[in-house]
Amino acid sequence: MKSYRSPHKTRALSGLFALGVVVLGAAGGCSGGFPNQPSTLRLAVTITQPANLGDNLHRRPIVTDPGKPETFTVSVEALKLDGTRDTAFTGGVRLSVKPGSVLEVSGPFTTGRSAFLQAGLAEGIQVPLYNAFGDARIVAEDLGYVPVEPPTRQPPPACSDGLDNDGDGRIDFPADEGCAFANDDSETGGTFAAGASQIIYYKLPRVADVRGAVCTGFEATDPAPQTPICAGGAATPFKAQQVSLDTGYQRDTRKFDFDMVVTRVAANGFYVQDVENDRLVTEDPCAVPPVHRKKRGYAGLFAFNFSSPPGMRVCDRIRTLAGTATEFFGSIQIGYPTWTLEEWDAKARPCGEPDPFDLVADDLANQSTLLQNVHSLVRLRSTVVDRPDVDGNGNQICIDDPANAGKKIRSVTKHTLEVRVTKHFGVENPKPNPSFDQTDPSSPQFLITDNASNCDFNGDGSVDFSANPEKGCAASCDLDVECTEWSNFAARSNFYV
């Protein structure tokens, strides 16, 4: 890609902050005041394709897969104070979307996520977006960035050549504030003029979207069984981003299209569950046509609040929920949450809390099933259940119905599940193991017993995993499948079964 240098990048702007645009003034001498120089007040960004960007009642589905972005064609124009085009402006602008992410743009005179304006105008720029949600806008900013591709070009870019090209006493990126990146071919800063496009109306992400579930939805008339139809859930596409969630509440009608219900209030936050989910699964693939039903999946979410949310109760409905999407030891949650509630009135509506998902023995070894139900209500109970048999591809096996000739039924196997709390679960501190062999990884350093599984030896409310004796005690508990560490239960109400 050819590099471009703008002779106007150091022009002072005499305007003020307007229309969300930061405008920098240039200080003159003591007697001269502010010089009256031509300036660019703002950038105008116009989406030319597609023509239909939706509206508040007809929103576009969000796109979270960077491999399948949604592309918009835009033009960017530099404008003077009077709204006419500034034909003296020639330089690059950086493109982004708020909120969301932009991949590499394409079109005339583009590189990376930058487009080059000639005589104040750039047209036909293809901007691929993903992770955009809500009221999104494509934004252009004049950062003074003149990218060079490849950055190893000879001669090197101005921000990597070891020279003070603009004479400000600072050399190259990152020491020179005028350098956006190491491949910037100009050490002078831009005007910092900016502009935003018209609104692109996207839906808000639902819990499953924030949880990173990738689903292949299908219609109830589809004859082909697809179970499961959602996968993933171990990583969020919105990592470290502030995100607003779709709770089903419509502000214009003050009604809920679906419910997001509080399922638990904890000492450090709260749990919610998207009760209605438009995912379909095959309930009976052996029937002709197959019988489908709606099933929740990837619908639970934990909001980490550092403390118990005041005034919140189980069965409250969430009207608005936003926070920072994070991945905490393989669990997706939101931090620093903000929310509004509809408090539960038993006289006005049922609780709305969903029925727990019944887990059987083989579910406990099925990562897909466990991921689908993280942060959701589940139930373990000692029982004998019929579990459908599946083939190597996960499809349910159909057999001839002995009671009805010519019909098929599902092949099932009876499963017995006994549920109990671990035996080694007590408030006392374990005693050292006199037979401990530090050369044997399977040898416990401490003796975990029915009444002694508390590894908080100093009583400070937590286990120090970096120093003995608490480190060795915790390792001994991990070696024992019958151990529930007591202080963890006391602090978080967590226990093993």
Residue 151 pLDDT: 62
Strand boundaries in 275-382, DSSP class E: 280-284, 291-294, 300-304, 317-328, 331-342, 357-358, 378-379
The pTM (predicted TM-score) of the whole model is: 0.72
More confident residue, 293 or 225: 293
**Could you give the CA distance from residue 327 to residue 335 in angstroms, rounded to a whole number?**
10
Amino acid identity of residue 477, one-letter, is C
Amino acid identity of residue 245, one-letter, is L
Minimum mean pLDDT range among 86-95, 175-184, 316-325: 175-184
Minimum mean pLDDT range among 112-116, 132-136, 274-278: 274-278
- pLDDT tens sequence across 263-306: 999 989 999 999 875 444 555 667 766 665 545 578 899 999 99
Strand boundaries in 25-80, DSSP class E: 42-49, 70-79
Neighbours of 79 (CB within 10 A): 18
- Average pLDDT in the chain: 83
**pLDDT at 148 exceeding the cut of 60:** yes
**Residues pairing with 84 in the sheet:** none
**Could you give the CA distance from residue 189 to residue 126 in angstroms, rounded to a whole number?**
26
- pLDDT tens sequence across 16-44: 223 333 333 333 444 444 334 445 578 99
Minimum mean pLDDT range among 55-69, 369-383, 384-398: 384-398
> CATH number of the domain at 42-144+188-202, please?
2.60.40.10
User: Of the ranges 141-150, 204-213, 442-451, which is most confident?
Assistant: 442-451
Residue 453 pLDDT: 96
Please state the domain extents for the chain. Answer: 42-144+188-202, 207-220+227-358, 384-416
Write out the two tokens for 38: 């031509």
Residue 401 pLDDT: 85
CB-based contacts of 291, cutoff 8 Å, min separation 6: 282, 283, 284
Minimum mean pLDDT range among 5-14, 120-129, 243-252: 5-14
More confident residue, 209 or 419: 209
Q: What is the mean pLDDT of residues 63-84?
A: 94
- pLDDT tens sequence across 334-355: 999 999 999 999 999 999 998 8
Q: Closest Cα partner for 482 from 461, 497, 464?
A: 497
**pLDDT at 155 exceeding the cut of 80:** yes
- φ/ψ of 383, rounded to 5, equals -165, 170
Residue 282 pLDDT: 54
